Amino acid sequence: MTPLRQKMTNDMKLRGLSPRTQQSYLEAVTGLAKFFNQSPDRLSKEQVQEYLLYLMEERRLSWSSCNVAVSAFRFLYGKTLESESMRLAIPPRKKITKLPEILSAEEIECLFASTDNPKHRMILMTVYGGGLRVSEVVKLKVNDLHKDRMTVRIDQGKGNKDRYTILSKRLLEELRVYWTMYRPPLWLFPSSRDINKPLDISSAQRIYYKAKERARITKGRGIHTLRHCFATHMLEAGHDVRTIQMLMGHSSIMTTIVYLQVTQKKMDATKSPLDLLEIPTARDCDRR
């Protein structure tokens, strides 16, 4: 490990960045160094900007991937190297807001039914049943399930925050059957390679994609879709936004309010102004 890489790693740890963020930032900086075959602290602001254009225009990376690179470079030059001029030379990227695609209740049922492996089925049901992030479900421990209070404890979720979400009665029944079959000692969903380690995030994603393919579902993206479905279906069931914010672990209620835009109940109750007009239909016009 080079001194610069070590210093950046230490700076990220001191600022409490998650291991995943640290890894993403280091990979982005490594890509920059390999592109010019030179240490990042020797690059000019024009070279850094050239690399960002390369990522956007030639490699055509998604907004999120490019934004990770921008954030990594701003951290490297602004925090680790303390170069104000270099930091200012890296423009912030405007966030692109996209509404999540929501699966219907029937599609959710079909997704679960398409999974033959009991463990895989329980992973998907747990994500949907409590609105968990994939990073949270893989790190659940057996004793995080509080049957007396019907809650699930999320230990150090996003932003290093603890929280509680609901434990569904149906989920609890299913988990009891799962536990008798697998008897996980510590992690609720241990790795298939090492029972003393939690399931890998990429494995959970693959489980979702396989189930989605079997169910012939084309909407939505990764396993995070189930978290979106949890919030939306909760709103459609009449639960208030503040409660859902707490269960989801959103820092800002504005993040939760986004789901109001995709609730089917709200759509069904909203009429287009065209429906209010008393004008002849196309069929009536043909008769004339």
Tell me the residue ranges of DSSP E strands in the chain. Answer: 145-146, 151-154, 163-166
Candidates 133, 139, 212, 228; catalytic one: 133
| Residue 144: CB atoms within 10 Å | 17
Position 71, amino acid: S
Closest to 48 (Cα-Cα) out of 76, 21, 27, 20: 76
Q: Is 74 annotated as catalytic?
A: no
The C-alpha angle with vertex 94 and arms to 263 and 251, in degrees rounded to 5, equals 50
Candidates 74, 139, 227, 233; catalytic one: 227
Q: Please give the structure tokens belonging to residue 17.
A: 């960045």
Give the distance between the most distant pair of CA atoms in the chain. 84
Q: Which residue matches tokens 């690179």?
A: 69
Candidates 79, 119, 206, 250; catalytic one: 250
According to DSSP, the β-strands at 151-154 and 145-146 are antiparallel
Q: Is 120 annotated as catalytic?
A: no
Candidates 7, 158, 163, 210; catalytic one: 158
Q: Is 259 annotated as catalytic?
A: yes
Closest to 229 (Cα-Cα) out of 140, 101, 50, 121: 101
Q: Is 227 annotated as catalytic?
A: yes
Tell me the residue ranges of DSSP E strands in 128-222. Answer: 145-146, 151-154, 163-166
Q: What Rg, from alpha-carbon coordinates, does the chain have? A: 24
Q: Is 158 annotated as catalytic?
A: yes
Candidates 259, 271, 283, 287; catalytic one: 259
Q: Is 224 annotated as catalytic?
A: yes
Q: Please give the structure tokens belonging to residue 64.
A: 């999120």
Residue 108 and residue 208: Cα distance in Å, rounded?
A: 12
Position 36, amino acid: F
| Contacting residues for 183 by C-beta, under 8 A, at least 6 apart | none
List residues with catalytic annotation.
133, 158, 224, 227, 250, 259
